[in-house]
Amino acid sequence: MNIFTLPDVGEGLTEADIVSWKVAVGDAVSVNQVFVEIETAKSLVELPCPFAGTVAELHAAEGETLEVGKPLITIDEAAVPAEPQAPDAGRPLPEDPAAQSILGEVTEHSLDDEGEDYDDGAAPAADRSPAAPAEEGVGPLVGSGPKADPARRRRRLDRPTPSTAVREGLKGARERLTPRAPAATAGAVQSRVAASGAAVSGLLGRVLAKPPVRKFAKELGIDLAKVPATGGQGEITREDLLSYQAQREAEQDAAPTFWNSKAGRDDRIDRQAVKGVRKATAKAMVDSAFSAPHVSIFVDVDATRTMEFVQRLKKSKDFEGVKVSPLLILAKAVIWAAARNPNVNASWVETENGAEIQVKHFMNLGIAAATPRGLLVPNIKDAQDLSLKELAIQLNELASTARAGRTSPAEMKDGTLTVTNIGALGIDTGTPIINPGEVAIVAFGTIKQKPWVVSGEVIPRWITTLGGSFDHRVVDGDLSARFMADVAAIMEEPALLLD
C-alpha cells in the first residue's frame, strides 16, 4: 500500500479544499493520471497520481479542507490490472481451405496491381549475396525499410506469373473475408414508416387560429399549442389568449422570488464559508490596507487616438487572429511610464537591519481578473521584454486561463505592479487596494464618448478616467503624479511608444 499525502503545490500553503475526485475506490489508476482537483488559496490545481495500482481509500470528502502533509489517497500497487490484449492478438487465420491454399500459393509471388512480378531494380538474383539467416525465434520485419522507387523497378522474367486460377481464388477469398454492411432490417423500415406517419400527424394536428390571433400570440410570447381552444371547430380565439395570459401572470406572481423564497427569518440568510481564493484575498487586502498608507489620484484622459490605434491594429495582418483592446495600450503605457519612474515598480521590505525599498529592474505586470472563484491577480513575467503583439497574446492567454479557473500559483507569484480593468464592467473609476508586495496599482475606467474641448471647440471624444493607488512610504505625491501623467500621455498619443 502506498499513501500519498497532500503536497504543498504553492509556496507556504498550509491547506487545500477538495473540489472533486476524478477516481473512486476500486478504480485502476496509472502514473501521472489526474485523480483529484483541489483548490488552494491561490488557484485550482489538478494532482497527478505518483503510483500505479488500484484505489484503496480516499481520505477526504469533496468540499473538505485538508492540511498539507495529511493522507490524501491510498494506492494498492499489488493490484495493478493486467494490460488488455488487442482484440485480434493471437487470433488464428481463417480456416477456409480455399483461402489457405490460395494464400499459400500467393506467398510465392510478389504481385502488383496488374498481377505481374517485379524486383526492386537492384542486381539480378544470381548476383545477389544470400540473405543473412534470421536469429532464432525472431521473424522477418515486415514493412520496414524505404519503399521501392517505382521509377527504377523492372520486370523480372525469370519467375512464373501466377495462374488465372490463383487470381480468381484470391478474389473470392477477399470477398469472403471482407465484412459487408448489414442489409436494412425490418425494424429500420418500420422506423422510417413511423417517422413519416408522425410527420403527417403533425401536419394534421396543427392548432387552428386566424393570422391576427397568431400574430397576437407571438407578441405575447405564447405557444399556441398550450392554449385551450374554445372557438368553433377547436379554433383558438383572442379571448383564449387573454385568458391564458392572465392565468400565466397570476402563476408568475405567486412563484417564489429571491426575496420570498424562504419563510423563516433565520432561514432567509445564506451562509457562505470563507475559504480558498476568497479567504486568501480577504487576508491580503486587510494586510495591505492597514500596513501600506494608500494615496489615490485620478486623471481624465482623451483616449480617442488610442481607440483609433486599436482599430488599426485589428485590421493589421500582423495582428490577425489576436484579440486587441485598449487594455493592451494601457499595459504598454504602464511599462513605459514605470521605466521613467522606477520607484513605482518596487517593494517595501522589512529586514533585520530595518526597512528597505527594493526597486525592480523587471516588470511582472499583474492583471486583476474577476473569476467565479473570486479575484485573481496573475502576472505576465518580464513584460518589459515583450513586443506589442507578444503582450497582446499574453493578455489573452492570461484572461482565458483565469476565467477557466486554471491559473497556477506560479502565475500569481512575484508581481511588481498591477492593472485592474474596472472599465470592463462600465465603471468610470475607483480607488483600488494595492496588491501585497507592490507599491502601485492602476485602475482603468470605462471609455465612452463625452463632450471635450479641443482647440476652443466642444466636440465628442473618447474619454476615460485613470485612478492610481500608491504606497505613500515609497511613492510620494510628486512621483505618483508624474507616473500617472506619463501613462495618460501614452493613452492620448500612442505614437510616443515609438520613441
Residue with cell 489576436: 322
Contact 56, 74 (CB under 8 A): yes
Cell of 266: 433565520
Instruction: Give dist(CA 395, CA 181) in Å, integer.
Output: 52
Cell of 230: 374554445
Q: Which of 18, 30, 162 is nearest to 101 (CA)?
A: 162
Calculate the alpha carbon distances from 317 to 64, 69, 326, 328 in Å. Answer: 50, 52, 18, 17
Kindly report the backbone phi and psi dihedral angles of residue 6, in degrees, each rounded to the nearest multiple of 5, phi listed first. -70, 120
| 3-state class (DSSP) for residue 344 | helix
Is 59 in the active site? no
Instruction: Give dist(CA 60, CA 67) in Å, integer.
Output: 11
Q: Which of 9, 6, 14, 5 is nearest to 283 (CA)?
A: 14
The length of the chain in residues reads 499
| 3-state class (DSSP) for residue 233 | helix
Adjacent-strand bridge partners of 143: none
Calculate the alpha carbon distances from 220 to 237, 242, 249, 253, 463 in Å. Answer: 14, 10, 11, 17, 41
Instruction: Give dist(CA 365, CA 345) in Å, integer.
Output: 10
Instruction: Give dist(CA 417, CA 265) in Å, integer.
Output: 45
Q: What is the set of active-site residues?
A: 472
